[in-house]
Amino acid sequence: MKEILVTGGLGYIGSHTVVELMMKNYNVSIIDNLSNSEIFILENIEKITGRNPIFFNIDLTDYNKTNSCFTKKNYDGVIHFAAFKSVSESVEYPEKYYSNNLNSLLNILRCMKENKVDNIVFSSSCTVYGQPDDLPVSEKFPFKEAESPYARTKQISENIIKDFVNSTSFLSGISLRYFNPVGAHHSGLIGELPIGIPDNLVPYITQTAAGIRKELQVFGDDYDTHDGTAIRDYIHVEDLAEAHIAALERMCENKMDSEYEYYNIGTGVGNSVLDVVKSFERVNKLKLNYSVIERRSGDIEKIFSDCRISNKKLGWATKKGLDEMMNSAWKWQNNISSFLKG
């Protein structure tokens, strides 16, 4: 059985990937310092899978502690999620983002190099493309000026991985550039846990429907789109989790065309803010309070993925549509308060 180390394995995308790995019979170790999660997520992973991952509550910016995890097992691969992810916070506190996100990655790569661990899958973002000139966005597009310190940490991280891969004969890396991950596990036992007021659309919608927020503010309806609201490529988090296993298998089975590869992970379909709201209302049979206000600064009009390369090379494709995303997000929202009360 293959041994995989997942950093940030109790986070939103990390926890779904851990479940998927365990369902596929991988042995999983998790490093997570609970900076953006709760310990009940670990218990719920165990409920879903009927198995217990190894859990290290460790801060990845501590090299010695991180390295101590690498000496406990011979890992076949690492999936590195652990990072801060708020665009707006990164603009206010760039030092926090550069320090945490880059030092964590450097420590992981150093440990991999010293302990001869071969394969890393990295959690990147379509934000590395900046404002794309053309749509859909292909992997062939270059990085453009980063829109935020968060975006720049993703660009820098991808380059760091490339340099490490070039520095050894054994390291391989794949960066997965996510579009907009939403929804939750179909069990309703794991999902996104936003701290405070959500920045992102779907947690804001579910919190509004739950009565935690008064109304959703739709940021702008004067974009050049079918209904005037901005367009994104929303992808179900379970489909996204599967892409990590496909990437890992590509590396473990030595199918790589080169030691470092990068893929877009989206559906290829663009949906507007109002498409999302309408799907949420329809599948969950409720009405959402919302009003339209001015555009949010820094937002782009539309972005969606060209998935042809990732579909072909990873042998992976999404299966779930917007309605399943909205249905699972609402199921999760309805469970959160009882989980948090314990």
Q: Which residues bind ligand UFG (CB under 6 A)?
A: 85, 87, 125-127, 151, 180, 199-201, 204, 216-219, 230, 232, 273, 296, 299
Residue placing its CB nearer to ligand UFG in the complex, 53 or 266: 266
Residue placing its CB nearer to ligand UFG in the complex, 15 or 272: 272
CA dihedral 220, 223, 228, 234 (to 10 degrees): -80
Nearest to 28 by CA among 94, 65, 81: 81
Largest CA distance in the chain: 57
* Distance in Å, CB of 42 to ligand UFG, minimum: 24
* Distance in Å, CB of 26 to ligand UFG, minimum: 27
- Going from the C-alpha of 261 to that of each of 44, 139, 253, 308, the distances in angstroms are 33, 10, 15, 15
Residue placing its CB nearer to ligand UFG in the complex, 238 or 275: 275
Nearest to 220 by CA among 297, 275, 295: 295
* Distance in Å, CB of 254 to ligand UFG, minimum: 31
Six-digit token string for 159 = 């380059």
How many angstroms separate the first and last alpha carbons of the chain?
34
Q: Using an 8 Å Cβ cutoff, are 291 and 206 in contact?
A: no
Point out the residues that are catalytic.
150
Residue placing its CB nearer to ligand UFG in the complex, 75 or 304: 304
Residue placing its CB nearer to ligand UFG in the complex, 46 or 199: 199
Residue placing its CB nearer to ligand UFG in the complex, 218 or 247: 218
* Distance in Å, CB of 325 to ligand UFG, minimum: 12
- Going from the C-alpha of 24 to that of each of 2, 183, 248, 256, 313, the distances in angstroms are 10, 21, 12, 21, 20
Nearest to 138 by CA among 2, 329, 283, 312: 312
Distance, in Å, from the CA atom of 161 to the CA atom of 95, rounded to the nearest integer, reads 21
Q: Using an 8 Å Cβ cutoff, are 131 and 144 in contact?
A: yes
Q: What letter does residue 137 receive in the DSSP assignment?
A: B
Beta-sheet strands, E only, within the chain = 3-7, 27-31, 54-56, 77-80, 119-125, 172-178, 180-182, 216-219, 231-232, 234-236, 260-265, 271-272, 290-293
* Distance in Å, CB of 295 to ligand UFG, minimum: 7
* Distance in Å, CB of 85 to ligand UFG, minimum: 5
